[in-house]
Amino acid sequence: MADMFDQFDDRLRRIETTRTRMKRGYKLTVDRDGLIVARPKSSRRGFPVKGAIFLVVGFIGFKALLIAYLGVQTYQDRVSVLQDGATIEQAGAWFMQTDRVSLELAAKLRPLIR
């Protein structure tokens, strides 16, 4: 008799686990016998590629706006001041150094800012 209760408890635990997973989303599939079955979506989370792309594009756009607003020489002077600073400032200077993309974008933005 105790064995039947254990089997019942195991089945309830599996049902509750499936219900919890289905709250996060499910997909409907058709089995071989034609029965439509709801299965929970996998909770696999990968690297957010879109977010990383938006971050890089936004950062390059920010640098281009700074270069267009300050001018190339003033911007370079401020980055060189950062290069002479502490370790964190040197890391910031490395990220903020000019590149071809931000210079081209700054050249296109300069008429709009001035």
In this structure, the answer to whether residues 83 and 104 fall within a common structural domain is: yes
In this structure, the answer to whether residues 56 and 90 fall within a common structural domain is: yes
Cβ-based neighbour number of residue 93 at 10 Å: 17
Global confidence as pTM: 0.61
Domains in the chain, number: 2
In this structure, the answer to whether residues 72 and 92 fall within a common structural domain is: yes
Q: Which of 87, 83, 85, 114 shows the shortest CA–CA distance to 98?
A: 83
Centroid of chain to Cα 95:
19
**How far is the C-alpha of 53 from the C-alpha of 2, rounded, in Å?**
57
Q: Which residues contact 112 (CB under 8 A, 6 or more apart)?
A: 68
The confidence score (pLDDT) of residue 97 equals: 94
Query: What's the average pLDDT block by block, 10 residues per block, for the chain (114 residues)?
Result: 83 89 87 88 82 96 95 94 93 94 94 83
Domain range for residue 16? 2-40
